[in-house]
Structure 1
Amino acid sequence: MGQQRQRRSCADPWRARGHGSKRRPLQLAAALLLSLPLLPGPGAPSRAEPRQGAAAAPINLAPTHWQLLDIRSMDDAIGSRRPEHPRLYTLELGADGRASLRLNCNRATGTWTAMPAGDGSSGSLRFSPLAMTRALCPPPSLDSQLGRDLAFVRGYRLEGDRLALSLFADGGILLWERLEGGPRNWRVTAQTAALRRVPSATASVAARYPAGTLLDNLGCGKGPAGLWCDVQRLGGGPRGYLLRNDLEAAISPDGTVHYGEDGSALRAGQGEFDASGELPCSLGSGQPMGRCGFQVARAGGGYATVVISLPDGRRRTVYFRLGQAIGNASAEAAPTGPFQASREGDLTRIQIGDERFEIPDAVVLGG
């Protein structure tokens, strides 16, 4: 008989660490769009988003965002595999039951369900079959192994800022660390919040924001008198600092809170889209509405990049955050005119100079 396998203990202490978060500037991602191929014609298929059958998420598991620390085998002969860059492997567990993953150069989506036991710090957990891109990532890469292992996840254990996902039949442990720094966007809760130029209550004021103002979260850290967050008004404005106590997580149009980077512009620049089709458009003042092709890359919760193909071959790119159109870019050097956005029912009406576009919420949010 062969030698009996030795089991590896997973009882080593877990140490919590915090991380700030920085948003990738839209300008960098927009540059990648210059190399995009022309959009396909009408009738191109769109990718279905697997959300049916998702159960309510345990409150201590969602919404959360994680990065991979370790893939541990219970067999000492195999040992552990640790990613060289943990931020290349991330897992987002949405409160709507959706799971979104970055697997190095690939992306995967699916649904997840969990049944907590006791206080909810452990229990059973499973993922649906994942829809995953199949790009060849530069070695060394864990995308293929992690994609396979996730299909065999059967349980979880949550302790502090660490999440252990156990595989079927003691097949191993996927160990994750919580990504800190707060949600993608904040909402001001104070009656009036003073935006400070540096993180100090005595610093000069760059702007004052009323309650309900939406802000981009550029990272949080400890400072004088508490935790300060580096913020900028959604859609642009001065950058500065607000006390964390004056902020709450911004709720997306689908009722969720999203963490981690909005990678939709980067994915669009790399030609990775979630859906395509047609939308109403007009290319000149007084002209009737026609049809233009579009492709959209989504990052969940109303974060999306919509690339529109004009009949003459030009392209326009419209950026959305929290379901709001905040700006545009063009692949052509010629100026396109001022950008304006307005809402009517479930449509976002875009005007770029004399050009007009109508973008339904379903394009941005999916479904």
Structure 2
Amino acid sequence: MSDLCRIAGAIGLAAAACLSPTAGRASDWTIVSVNGTAATGQPQITLGADGTIAGSTGCNSFTGSARFENAMLVVEAPLAVTRMACPGDGLARQEAAILQLLEGETAFTHDPFTGAFTLSRGEDQMALAELAASVFDIDFVTVDGLSGPLNIRQAPGTDAPLVTRVLPGTLLRNQGCEVGDTYDWCNITFLDASGTTGWAATEYLRPAPAAVRAQQGLFDNIGTLECRGSVVGEVALCDYGVARDGDHSAVLVIYDPDGGERVVHFAEGELAYAETAEGTASDVQDSELSGNLLVVTLGQQTYEVPQTVIVGNGE
């Protein structure tokens, strides 16, 4: 599901198919911030395949019905909400803002590189991130879930000396994580020439999507595949690198023998779209399954992509 959302955002399509309860599957989201402040109490939203919406504000639970229309989330009023008193003014304000956004029509925008959505109306907004694999088992992570820079410390703990600060969206290598008393921590390394290392709280780290890793040349596998140009019968070998997400989705970067480069996105094992250079016309894009090969046609180029390149071995 997350890949379909990134694809929708990348090519400017409505993201309703990504989050829509009518898309045929449930989707679970965590609310990472409300009005620029990191969310507390682990608030979540679940959009059911049957058109239901449910979740928690971090204090009370809610349930109701929702649908998507013209890039708007439409929540059918009223939501049924439990009425427990929220401990603290901050949590009460967070709940009020969440429930206000989940009334009627709410606009949303999407970041194709982080997979995050922002729901907004007027001055209120909240950022959502799809619940994903734990960063404990992820090699590359991005900084997310806070409005300002993230503190990187010399040791796992909020009282450890500060090494540096890093902006949201930064891609980092994860060297390993450990459980802490208040926060869990990951030992991270910067990917720039500095090679800076330190510890970051896992609360503000997310698994790096395939689109981000592929953009940086960080691939799960590299190899060659057969490719054909405009000359009938002329076969060549093209180098490739692939970065995979879950749900048999991936970003494949193909390096043509003439020095050209194609970035091809797959969702659920099928061709979703191929990026085109700015200012160029869109190619004809098509694919068909032939045995265990995906035959991908982009304009006058044809690429024979083994299914295992996209989904991995044994998946």
TM-score w.r.t. length of structure 1: 0.37
* Higher relative contact order, structure no. (Cα contacts within 8 Å, ≥ 6 residues apart): 1
Would you tell me which structure has more helix in proportion to its own residues? Answer: 2
